[in-house]
Structure 1
Amino acid sequence: MTNSIESLPTPRHPDPSDAPSLRWGIIAPGGIANDFTDAIRMHTRQKVVAVGSRTLERAAAFAARHGFERAYGSYEELVADPEVDVVYVASPHSEHVAHALLAIAAGKHVLIEKPMAVTAAGARSIAAAARAAGVFAMEAMWTRYLPQTDIARQLLADGMLGDVEVVTADFGGAAPFDPASRLYDPALAGGALLDLGVYVVSWASFALGAPEHVFATGKLAPTGVDAQVALVLSSPGGGQALLSTSLLAGTPSLGTISGTKGRIETDAPFWGPSGIRFQSRGGTELHWVDPYGRPYRQGMSYEAAALARYISEGLTDSPLHPIDEAITTLATIDEARRQVGYLNVAGGAQ
């Protein structure tokens, strides 16, 4: 197959407004839930109809801000609402398993913020429950549903990169140390890998599949969580991924995939709507810049629309990011956290 190319592939299903409408309930009305709700209100036909929080006052304030009425002072009431089709689990990731299982037991489809659990074992429990209940369950790895990612997917599928040999990705942000914050508290499964590193490990999985070997080195915060980690992943086919994540310093947030025929370089940030560049071994260079006007977290509208399409098609798993892949990504993170000395991998929250 030649890697001659005159233009980059067109993203498939770029407009999230074409997806069937579902009625959404929100578990935990924090910052990510606020941005998700704004994104789907602005760019899709999805409807947030209810929210649950640990306090009725907090739920009512969120509902008023976003223009709907049903607010509940418990998560149990939220998942019991017969007008809710799908639950978005937006709580701290230490609570994802409990809240996802609660929604699944009520017969609701679930979109679970990434990481869907804090260990692979926790993710397996969600997968098993969803399959037994016959409901749709998906990790909210929204990068997989972005237009630029679909361009990369088509270039890989068409053999335009040849054999993939080297994958890189970084995601770091400077977060002042606060032992009580979600990022640094081991009781809340804090640390760089689970908060930011899940993106870089997922990028490597997208390009190379599950790794055969994991090598990690890092630096721990005073609370014992990983503050910074560098990883080398080796795939069964011989390709390698060089990844980094940090709570100590901001990094460019770039992703690359390099093969024997060409390479992909993303614009920043690789995990949100930006752009993508392809360069062939022969010197052809093409650059696509996202034209759709859904910047930063507005790109979460794509994952919500994808979920709605999949459910309308009778699917119970995402073809672009299967739940088993989310599990293997967490297995990689489990091993990396073990190697850097994170204290809470085996015995902590799932």
Structure 2
Amino acid sequence: MSTIRPVQWGFAGTGSISGSMASQIANSAISKAAAVSSRSLESAKAFAATHGIGKAYDSLDDMLADPDIEAIYIALPHALHKGAILAALNAGKHVLCEKPMALNAGEVAEIAAHPRAKSLMITEGFMVRYQPQWEWIRAQIADGALGTVKQVTAFTALQLPPPAVDPARGTLAGDRSLLLDIGCYSVHLVRTIFNADPLRVSALIERDPVTGLETFIKASLDFGGRYADVIVSNVLRRGRRIHVLGSAGSLEIMTPIHTPPTGAKVLAALVGDGNADPVEQVFPSVEQYGLQMDDVSRHIRAGDQPRVTLANALRNARTLDAIVASAEAKGAWAEL
């Protein structure tokens, strides 16, 4: 039984991801959903009733003024992330913000420059980092089981309709961005695999001629003679894979982001002459959002760094910015 006092969390936003997070920490001994805010008090009260949350507010500012709330979980539209984070820091609250932390590296740098950025915890919500498969994958690479990793290929295709525009606020900058919403996962994970940041990026982006939204993204990331190719699409047949190729072995990550109830699968060919059949590794499906918040809560109590640091968020944003810059230059290399 945990002897650590539960961190009192305020939830900014009542969408589906907030619902998943609240459900997955319902029985946590270290994280407590203590309050929720929404632009609509009715929505906040309904969310609070569903998830057994004691306090509901019709504004983020009112929730931030609550002295009992220690940390804020932000699951708002992308364009609202920076403002909500800065408001939380002004109020002296720790922050777990859903990816992307902000619209670009300049906004993340503005967050990092806040006077309380070093004394309070600020972490970007990549729940995927809390899956057992990724702990195993990182250990295999770190232990040299794959030899030198030379190439990573990450492919994501999701045929999803764009979310409806909220008539009360219209369309905000970054809304429905394929790169910010989906591509950020691949960029974060290939950086995690190489445990480094790319030196330069070459990218192409195709956009819908009517909406201007990205429909296909292809980016090559140069890690100094080691490479990653990232492809993201919302017009191709659904599929998601990451291939990791090394001098002594390879991995095919079958379900890299959201794992099904049957568990996450990795095909691993780690030894031999390369002709042996790969071995299937199966990892249990976990409540990754809840694991993430509990881990952040432990780090808050310990006063140390989270798994995904603010510095990491800034470097991921810089890579995403480089992809955009290269695409605008018709694929010319953009240096980081």
- Give the shorter-chain TM-score range: 0.7 to 0.9
Change (3 A) 1:61 1:325: same
1:1-350 mapped onto 2 (5 Å cutoff) = 21-41=6-26, 45-129=30-114, 131-132=116-117, 134-176=119-161, 180=165, 185=171, 187-208=173-194, 209-221=196-208, 222-236=210-224, 238-268=225-255, 270-273=256-259, 274-282=264-272, 283=276, 285-291=278-284, 293-294=285-286, 298-315=287-304, 317-318=305-306, 320-341=307-328
Within 2, Cα distance between the matches of 1:31 and 1:23? 20
Structure 1 residue 101 displacement after superposition: 0.8
Change (3 A) 1:86 1:95: same
Per-residue Cα deviation, 1:296-330 (whole angstroms, up to 9, x for no partner): xx321121121112122211x32x32221221111
Secondary structure in structure 1 of the residue aligned to 2:67? coil
Normalization by structure 2: what TM-score? 0.87
Contact 2:174 2:180 in 1 (8 A): no
Within 1, Cα distance between the matches of 2:115 and 2:125? 15
Change (3 A) 1:133 1:76: farther
CA-based RMSD of the aligned residues comes to 2.5
Within 2, Cα distance between the matches of 1:330 and 1:64? 36
Normalization by structure 1: what TM-score? 0.83
Change (3 A) 1:31 1:23: same
Number of corresponding residues: 317
| Structure 1 portions without partners, runs of 5+ | 1-16, 343-350
Structure 1 residue 146 displacement after superposition: 1.4
Write the letter of the residue equivalent to 1:245.
V
Write the letter of the residue equivalent to 2:298.
R
Write the letter of the residue equivalent to 2:289.
M
Structure 1 residue 186 displacement after superposition: 6.0
Q: In percent, how many aligned pairs have the same letter? A: 30
Contact 1:226 1:340 in 2 (8 A): no
Secondary structure in structure 2 of the residue aligned to 1:339? helix
Contact 2:220 2:228 in 1 (8 A): yes
Per-residue Cα deviation, 1:277-308 (whole angstroms, up to 9, x for no partner): 321241474432123x43xxx32112112111
Within 2, Cα distance between the matches of 1:305 and 1:327? 23
Secondary structure in structure 1 of the residue aligned to 2:173? helix
| Structure 2 portions without partners, runs of 5+ | 330-336
Change (3 A) 1:189 1:262: same
Contact 1:167 1:241 in 2 (8 A): yes
Within 1, Cα distance between the matches of 2:27 and 2:266? 24
Write the letter of the residue equivalent to 1:311.
I
The 10-residue stretch of structure 1 (170-179 or 140-149) with the greater mean CA deviation from structure 2? 170-179
